[in-house]
Amino acid sequence: MADYDLVIRGGTVGTASAVFDADVAIAGESIVAVGRGLPAGKREIDARGRLVLPGGVDAHAHIEQLSGMGVMNADTFETATGSSALGGTTTVVCFAAQHKGKSLTRVVEDYHALARKGTIVDYALHMILADPTETVLKEELPPLVKSGHASIKLFMTYQHTKVDDEQLLDTLIAARENKALVCVHAENNGMISWMGRRLVERGYRAPQYHAVHHPRLCETEAIYRLCAFAELVDQPVIVYHVSTAEGAAVIRDARGRGIKVFGETCTQYLTLTVDDLVKPGIEGAKWICSPPLRQVSDQEALWKALELGDLQFVSSDHAPYRFDDTGKLRAGPDPSFKEVANGMPGLELRLPLLFDAMVAKGRYGIEKFVEWTASAPARMYGLHPRKGSIAIGADADICIWDPKRRTTISDATVHDNAGYTPYAGRTIEGWPVSVVRRGEIVVDDGKLKASAGSGVFLPREAGEAAVPTGRLSPEFDEARNFGARLY
C-alpha cells in the first residue's frame, strides 16, 4: 500500500511537452508518482473533467517594494501572494530593491524579513542594484549570489534606480565573475525625460500621453545598446517586459548572432493596448505602466516572438498602486502623466488571462501555456527541476483548472490590494479552482486556505541561461591581452 498523502485523481495532466490522462500522487511536499490507477491517498482531489497543470512561476513581481519613482507598492507580501495563489501562481520571483547609498546586504535582509512574515507562495529574490559601487560589486554581491540570489536587475531609466552605461558594464562584468544572470528594464532615459518635459510644457498632461512620453524608439535603442554591452563582455542578459515588435526584432537579431540575450513579455502587452489609456479625466492613470501599452500589431509580434523563441516567457510585472493619494494620485487628484506611479496589478490574473487568450480561444495548446508561464521561467532562473513541472521529485505545486469556467472580472473579484484591476469587465474562460503548493492545498474551490508566512525562500544558483557563451568580443579580448585591466 503506497503511502501517499494526496492523490489528484482522474484529471488530464499538462506539462510543457505532453498532455495525458493520469493521477498525480504526492508524499510530503513532492510529487512521487504520475500514472493511471494509482493507490489511494490519505486525501484525494477528484480531478475528473479538470486539467492538472504545474503551479505558475511569475518571475517578475514587485512586492512591498519602493519603486524607481520612490513610491511604495500597495501590496504586502501577504496580500500579493494570497492573490497570486488564488490565480494559480505558486512561485514568485520578486525584488530586493537597493536605492542609492544603501547596503545591498541590508536591503536583501530587509526584504527577506518582509517575505518570511507574509508570503503564502514560495519566493526567490532578484537584487535590484541602483548603486553598483566597487564595494557593492566586489564585497557585497559575491556572498549574496552564493546564498541563492543568482539574478540582478538593473534599470536604464527611473530617477531613483537608473544606472549609466559604465555602471551597467561594471555590473555585467561582476555578474559574469559571480555566475549571476542580469535582467534589465531597457528604455532610454534621456528620450523619456526630454519627451516628458516638452509634452507637459505644451499642456499635454493626460494619461494617454504617457505612451508618447515613452516612444517606441526608446525601447528599441535601449535593447540594442544592452545587446551590444552583453556582446562586448559576453554576459547573458534578460530583457524585461518587451513591449514592441521592434524590441523583439532587436533581440531576434542579437540571438541570431549567437549573443545570449533572452526576453520576457508581460500579460498586459499581450492583452491590453494603448487605447486603454484613453479614458475620461484621470481614469486612464490606472493603465499607466512602463513601457506603455502598445498596439494590436505589437501583440501579434510578441506572440510570434514567443513562438519563435526570441522571447521565452510571460510575467506579470505586478506593480500595484492604489487609485488614490497613496499611489497613482499621490501628486494630487489631477496629476500629469509624469507624476503617476508606473505599474499595474497582475499577479492574480496572469494565468487566467493567458489561459483564456491561449488555450480557451484555441490559439495555442496547453504545452505552450505551461512552458511560457511556468517551465521556462523556472529553467531560466535556476528553479528547475524543483519548480515549473509535473514530474517525480518536483515540488508538488499543482493547479487544478476548470477549463470551462467562465468568470467576469471586476474590481471586486481580485484579491490584491490595488483596489482595481485593469481587466474589469472582461469575461474569460478557464480558472484554477484548486491549488496545491508543496503538497498543501492552499486554494480549495476558490477559497484561500494557507496562512501568511507559509511560503519558503527558494535559494537559486543561476540557471543555464546565465552561463556565458565563452566568446568574448574580439575588441574586449584584445584590450585584455594588451594588459589593460578591464577584466
Q: How far is the CB of 374 from ligand URP (least distance, A)?
A: 21
Ramachandran region, residue 439 (left: φ > 0; alpha: ψ -120 to 50; beta: rest)? left
Q: Which residue is nearest to Zn ion (CB)?
A: 185
Supply the DSSP symbol for 22.
E
Closest alpha carbon to 397 in 125, 115, 117, 89: 89
Q: How far is the CB of 330 from ligand URP (least distance, A)?
A: 14
In the bound state with ligand URP, the residue whose beta carbon lies nearer, of 62 and 322, is 62
In the bound state with Zn ion, the residue whose beta carbon lies nearer, of 185 and 438, is 185
In the bound state with Zn ion, the residue whose beta carbon lies nearer, of 122 and 317, is 317
Q: How far is the CB of 67 from ligand URP (least distance, A)?
A: 6
Where on the chain is the footprint of ligand URP (CB under 6 A)? 62, 67, 185, 289-290, 317, 319, 342-343
Ramachandran region, residue 362 (left: φ > 0; alpha: ψ -120 to 50; beta: rest)? left
Q: How far is the CB of 187 from Zn ion (least distance, A)?
A: 8
Q: How far is the CB of 349 from ligand URP (least distance, A)?
A: 16
In the bound state with Zn ion, the residue whose beta carbon lies nearer, of 38 and 61, is 61
In the bound state with Zn ion, the residue whose beta carbon lies nearer, of 131 and 367, is 131
Closest alpha carbon to 315 in 251, 390, 229, 381: 381
Long-range contacts of 469-475 (CB under 8 A, 24+ apart): 469/234, 469/258, 469/259, 469/260, 470/234, 471/234, 471/258, 472/233, 472/234, 473/231, 473/232, 473/233, 473/234, 475/232
Q: How far is the CB of 347 from ligand URP (least distance, A)?
A: 13
Residue 264 interacting with Zn ion (CB under 5 A): no
Measured at the CA of 352, the angle between CA 347 and CA 358, to 5 degrees, comes to 120
What amino acid occupies position 44? E
- When binding is defined by CB under 5 A, the residue of 122, 317, 371, 397 that contacts Zn ion is 317
Span of 33-41, 113-121, 310-318, 414-422 interacting with Zn ion by CB under 5 A: 310-318
**From Zn ion, ligand URP, none, interface partner of 437 (C-beta below 5 to 8 A by class):** none
Residue 185 interacting with Zn ion (CB under 5 A): yes
In the bound state with Zn ion, the residue whose beta carbon lies nearer, of 30 and 167, is 167
Chain-centre distance of CA 240, in angstroms? Answer: 8
Span of 72-80, 220-228, 315-323, 354-362 interacting with Zn ion by CB under 5 A: 315-323
Residue 84: how many other CB atoms lie within 10 Å: 36
In the bound state with Zn ion, the residue whose beta carbon lies nearer, of 137 and 238, is 238
In the bound state with ligand URP, the residue whose beta carbon lies nearer, of 344 and 366, is 344
Q: How far is the CB of 461 from ligand URP (least distance, A)?
A: 24
* Cis before 385 (ω within 30): yes
Supply the DSSP symbol for 18.
-
**From Zn ion, ligand URP, none, interface partner of 342 (C-beta below 5 to 8 A by class):** ligand URP
Q: How far is the CB of 193 from ligand URP (least distance, A)?
A: 15
**From ligand URP, Zn ion, none, interface partner of 289 (C-beta below 5 to 8 A by class):** ligand URP
> Using H for helix, E for strand and C for coil, what is the string for 390-427?
CCCCCECCEEEEEEEEEEECCHHHCCCCCCCCCCCCCE
Footprint of Zn ion on 123-152 (CB under 5 A): none
Q: Strands 19-27, 4-14: parallel, antiparallel or unpaired by DSSP?
A: antiparallel
Place of cell 477559497: 447
In the bound state with Zn ion, the residue whose beta carbon lies nearer, of 238 and 259, is 238
Indicate the helix (H) or strand (E) that contains 8: strand 4-14
Contact predicate 442/91, CB 8 Å: no
Measured at the CA of 110, the angle between CA 346 and CA 455, to 5 degrees, comes to 55
**From Zn ion, ligand URP, none, interface partner of 216 (C-beta below 5 to 8 A by class):** none
Residue 286 interacting with Zn ion (CB under 5 A): no
Q: How far is the CB of 169 from ligand URP (least distance, A)?
A: 21
Would you tell me which residues interact with Zn ion (CB under 5 A)? 185, 317
